[in-house]
Chains A and B, each alone.
Chain A
């Protein structure tokens, strides 16, 4: 079973700064079946990135995904106030496992 480990657990940044979130898989799952979701309290999770680097419809271009093999990254180029939330990665090929999440909080 593939285990996804996200780091850091909590990231404290200010609006306008760049955020880099990491997702590492316990084994190479040999595909780009990696998605990122944003989740705010009391709201439905929202798909941001699929296929490791493809932005979902309506997602601003300040969000970008990259990586392959076992190491994947979500980058938010310039943080907006509405970007502070919890972010999850998910491998959707051989499993449906989520990472444990990274909380992005205002510094």
Chain B
């Protein structure tokens, strides 16, 4: 059974930093691209960042480019999202999502339960 467990969320002040983690199990982690997708309060799903199975290529939405960095440790079956210079508008539930392949094109086979990040003073 595929399991994706996010951690590291919480309350942070504007301009602060936070690192999210996603512990994966139940599948061959290195064979799957991974992404972070978020949902702001009252809004829809927004893709944030993606990384290929091997970790060699990363992609970020324009809204987070230069502030967020996605990475992975395939030896630990863990996905990360380093979030710097956080803004109030980054407040959202952040989901870890498993891609159906190591690289594009892929849909999201499985999702974690999500972790709340609140940016507020």
Contact = CB atoms under 8 A, between A and B. Distances in A.
B110 to A, nearest CB: 7
Contact of B111 (A31, A33, A44, A101): A44
A56 B50 CA distance: 22
Interface of A is mostly: loop
A98 B44 contact: yes
Given A88-B45, A96-B35, A97-B47, A35 B114 contact: no
Contacts, number: 56
Contact of A100 (B44, B107, B109): B44
A35 B45 contact: no
B104 interface: yes
A101 B44 contact: yes
Q: Which bracket fits the contact residues of A?
A: 20 to 34
A90 B107 contact: yes
Interface residues of B, number: 22
A44 B114 contact: yes
- Pick the most buried of A56, A88, A92, A97: most chain B CB atoms within 10 A of its CB: A92
B44 A88 contact: yes
Nearest to B45: A98
Interface of A: 31, 33, 35, 37, 39, 43-47, 50, 56, 86, 88, 90, 92-93, 96-101
